[in-house]
Chain A
Amino acid sequence: MLSEPLTLLLALTALVLAVFAPAFHYHQFGEASRMARDAGLSAIFTCGSALAVFGAIRAFRRELETGTFEMALAHPVSRSGFFLAKAAGLFAAYLVFALTVFGAAVTIVIGATVAGRIAARTGEIATVWGPCLASGVAVAVVPLLVGAALNRFWRFRFVLTSMASALMLAIASAATFSFLIGTGALARLAPAVVLLAVYAALLASAASAFSVRFAANAAASLTGLVFAATLPFVGNYYMAEALSHGGSVPWSYVGLATLAAIPAAGAFLLLGCRFVRDIG
């Protein structure tokens, strides 16, 4: 899944959103958490949901249509086990994606914080764009350059190395963030990201189950119906507003929301196991 160009495309889109979305809002430099919330969480929610759904559909349908699924089932593996392992792999790929985008948002916040401090000291608003843009460009370009260099000189694979570099940059950003701004803001953002991952897992399980039985378009439409049916509850998982004005999402709430999502995701996974047993 991580080797797929689709993953890189969605990750790049999310990074671009995370980098440039703050520029289209009326943010004041210094509102670091708010920028991370608006740019990072919305990118994780929109592109992450797309990755969860289309990644699942693409992974299962392509395997079924090209025969690699059949090849795997000819080996000594349980059908349900193979389906669940693939679904788990998809979720792991999603987590890499979410962490990367989260890290990108955090990198932007570092740039904005530095810029805010410079502006406060010099009083010149024009100087704030330098660090902000530098961090944004670094987030979007550095992983690609690293991937390209490793591919050019050592024949490492571009998509995998770019994603790995982006992830490492994300971790480095989070560490820098903790050092510059403190762990409080990170600790407040983390539960919100976990909630989005839970909702993405719900959508991915539905998409995985439907793609085993139905063609890609039908599977996407049925997952769309699941999205429409859960739309009234999406607010329970997209808790961006809760982070305003120093607020946070309690971990007890995250636990409750996860418990609420488990029966639905479990039902979809059981349906997928049933569908995969019926193949042939």
Chain B
Amino acid sequence: MNDSEDIVRLESVEKTFRDFWLRPTVKAVDGLSLSVRKGEVFGLLGPNGSGKSTTIKMILGLLSPSAGDVRLFGLPPRAIEARRKLGYLPELSYLHPFLTAKETLRYYAGLCGLKSAEAKERTTQLLEMVGLADVAGRPVGGFSKGMARRVSLASALVGRPELLVLDEPTSGLDPVSTKEVKTLVKALAANGMTVLTTSHLLADAEDICDRVMILDHGKSVAEGRVSELGTSLEDFFLAKVGDASEFRLAPFLG
């Protein structure tokens, strides 16, 4: 693989959040370098607060790095051309509650620049795919968490992206829906789509990822192909990040 096939590339990226007086409050990402290659499913794993979502947001151009360089399809992430090839599923389903499922998809299709006829066709197709065709006319504010997640997933795919960024894709889904999402991700990857995903659920990541990177305190502590770990992803993860609980239970339990 050469650099030209890197869909996402981060070099020595840092992100420091600051308060109103510009004093640094927290360094969420610290000297991170990574690359996601065309056609692979790349997993960004790590405990809460390890900098996964911040990294994703820098890749999407929603946050600017304090130092280092981020490239998406070889372009700065805020370049419209780069984001034209991107689909994004956020950790929480951010939806307009008064729009119906169909209107939500048409809205995002419009933002992706799809023409009206194509948007209509794509909307119908995706609502069928995520099993929401029957409730396409209902406002999404009344949807269950799982249904809202399906709408978000369909929204991420509406612009026929080359790179799909999934932030905790199975969060809030029941086991059946979780399995469906994993099957979908595998099918998309088999069709050549590049997928960048974060997950707390190591079993899910193990099922779908070709390669993983483990983050801790904003730094990469390990990176490798899942097939070459030689152990389960959970054991690998705990060995790298540590399984010591931050809870101090002994005084509480007596």
Seen from chain A, the residues whose Cβ lies within 8 Å of a Cβ on chain B are 3-4, 66-68, 70-79, 155, 157, 159, 279-280
Determine if A74 and B80 form an interchain contact, defined as CB atoms under 8 angstroms apart. Answer: no
Q: How far is the CB of A92 from chain B (nearest CB, A)?
A: 16
Q: Is B236 an interface residue (CB 8 A)?
A: no
Cross-interface CB contact of B63 among A4, A72, A78, A280, cutoff 8 Å = A280
Determine if B112 and A67 form an interchain contact, defined as CB atoms under 8 angstroms apart. Answer: no
Seen from chain B, the residues whose Cβ lies within 8 Å of a Cβ on chain A are 57, 60-64, 78, 80-81, 83-84, 86, 88, 90, 92, 94-96, 98-99, 108, 111-113, 137, 139, 155, 159
Cross-interface CB contact of A67 among B61, B64, B83, B90, cutoff 8 Å = B90
Known contacts A157-B139, A280-B57; A77/B94 CB under 8 A: no
Determine if A76 and B112 form an interchain contact, defined as CB atoms under 8 angstroms apart. Answer: yes
With both beta carbons as reference points, the residue of chain B lying nearest to A77 in the complex is identified as: B111
Determine if B92 and A71 form an interchain contact, defined as CB atoms under 8 angstroms apart. Answer: no
Q: List 27 A-B contacts (CB under 8 A).
A: A3-B99, A4-B98, A66-B94, A67-B90, A67-B94, A68-B96, A70-B90, A70-B94, A71-B88, A71-B108, A71-B155, A74-B60, A74-B88, A75-B83, A75-B108, A75-B111, A75-B112, A75-B159, A76-B80, A76-B81, A76-B86, A76-B111, A76-B113, A77-B111, A157-B98, A279-B62, A280-B57
Q: How far is the CB of B121 from chain A (nearest CB, A)?
A: 19
**A72→B88 CA distance, assembly (Å):** 10
Known contacts A72-B111, A74-B62; A3/B98 CB under 8 A: yes
- Classify the interface of chain B: helix, strand, loop or mixed: loop
- With a cutoff of 8 Å between Cβ atoms, the chain A residues found around residue B139 in the complex are 157
**A77→B84 CA distance, assembly (Å):** 9
With both beta carbons as reference points, the residue of chain B lying nearest to A280 in the complex is identified as: B63
How many A-B contacts are there with CB distance less than 8 Å?
A: 56
Determine if A280 and B80 form an interchain contact, defined as CB atoms under 8 angstroms apart. Answer: no
Determine if B84 and A76 form an interchain contact, defined as CB atoms under 8 angstroms apart. Answer: yes
Q: Nearest 5 A-B pairs (CB), nearest first?
A: A67-B94, A75-B111, A3-B98, A76-B84, A280-B63
With both beta carbons as reference points, the residue of chain B lying nearest to A63 in the complex is identified as: B96
With both beta carbons as reference points, the residue of chain A lying nearest to B107 in the complex is identified as: A72
Known contacts A73-B62, A74-B60, A155-B137; A68/B80 CB under 8 A: no
- With a cutoff of 8 Å between Cβ atoms, the chain B residues found around residue A280 in the complex are 57, 61-64
With both beta carbons as reference points, the residue of chain A lying nearest to B59 in the complex is identified as: A74
A4, A70, A74, A280 pick with most chain B CB within 10 angstroms: A74
- With a cutoff of 8 Å between Cβ atoms, the chain A residues found around residue B57 in the complex are 280
Q: How far is the CB of A169 from chain B (nearest CB, A)?
A: 23
- With a cutoff of 8 Å between Cβ atoms, the chain B residues found around residue A66 in the complex are 94
- With a cutoff of 8 Å between Cβ atoms, the chain B residues found around residue A78 in the complex are 80
A4, A73, A78 pick with most chain B CB within 10 angstroms: A73
- With a cutoff of 8 Å between Cβ atoms, the chain B residues found around residue A3 in the complex are 98-99
Given contacts A75-B86, A75-B112, A79-B78, 6 further A-B contacts (CB under 8 A): A70-B62, A74-B86, A76-B86, A77-B111, A280-B57, A280-B64
- With a cutoff of 8 Å between Cβ atoms, the chain A residues found around residue B61 in the complex are 73-74, 280
Q: How far is the CB of B129 from chain A (nearest CB, A)?
A: 20
Known contacts A74-B86, A75-B108, A75-B111; A67/B60 CB under 8 A: no
Q: How far is the CB of A235 from chain B (nearest CB, A)?
A: 37
- With a cutoff of 8 Å between Cβ atoms, the chain B residues found around residue A74 in the complex are 60-62, 83, 86, 88
B81, B98, B137 pick with most chain A CB within 10 angstroms: B98
Cross-interface CB contact of A71 among B90, B113, B137, cutoff 8 Å = B90
**A66→B141 CA distance, assembly (Å):** 12
- With a cutoff of 8 Å between Cβ atoms, the chain B residues found around residue A77 in the complex are 80, 111
With both beta carbons as reference points, the residue of chain A lying nearest to B91 in the complex is identified as: A67
**A76→B98 CA distance, assembly (Å):** 23
- With a cutoff of 8 Å between Cβ atoms, the chain A residues found around residue B113 in the complex are 76
**A42→B2 CA distance, assembly (Å):** 68
**A155→B100 CA distance, assembly (Å):** 12
**A79→B96 CA distance, assembly (Å):** 19
Q: How far is the CB of B114 from chain A (nearest CB, A)?
A: 11
With both beta carbons as reference points, the residue of chain A lying nearest to B15 in the complex is identified as: A280
- With a cutoff of 8 Å between Cβ atoms, the chain B residues found around residue A70 in the complex are 62, 90, 94
